[in-house]
Amino acid sequence: MRTRIAELKARVSAGGLLAATVRAMVYTGKYRGAVDERGFEIVRRLRHDPNLAPSVSLAEFKALLREQFYLLLIDQEAALRAIPTMLPEDAATRQQALDIVKRVLTACGPLDDEDQARLARITRMFGLGDAAEPGNIVPLSPTRLEVQIKAS
């Protein structure tokens, strides 16, 4: 288990734009619950978008999704700090990736305040939006899960 964790930590900055986009989706939407068929259709298109990545098989995409989930689970702050280093310099490409994140997240309905705060943080990491500073990490309030754990 320790070996696998070390392998994952060594890959925290690996994967490029597609991995950064998937990591942003996982981080921003991790408490939203299930994604409906609209979200899955957007993810399917993401897998075949030549601007984000070459065509990726479903198995490769699932492996990438698992890896990003585990990286966030093992060390969320390190995984988030790495996002700006994974992104291209081209602002239009970063905007396209962020738009995909937003479409997937809002496919099931509007975002709550916590999800909006997470999306704002990701937007800044992508170097987009107001006060855009790639790598700018803004502390958030404890997550709902952390609050529930502390309360029990």
Q: Is the pLDDT of residue 39 over 80?
A: no
Query: What's the mean pLDDT in 100-125?
Result: 88
For 47-104, the pLDDT digits (tens) are 777 766 667 788 888 888 889 989 999 999 999 999 999 999 999 999 999 998 888 8
Count how many domains the chain has.
1
Q: Give 45 or 36, the one with higher predicted confidence.
A: 45
Compute and round to an integer the Cα radius of gyration of the chain.
15
The answer to whether 126 and 94 have CB atoms below 8 angstroms apart is yes
Domain range for 61: 2-151
pTM, entire model: 0.75
The packing angle between helices 16-29 and 58-74, to 10°, is 60
What's the pLDDT at 100?
87
State the average pLDDT for the chain.
77
What's the pLDDT at 53?
65
Q: Is the pLDDT of residue 140 over 60?
A: no
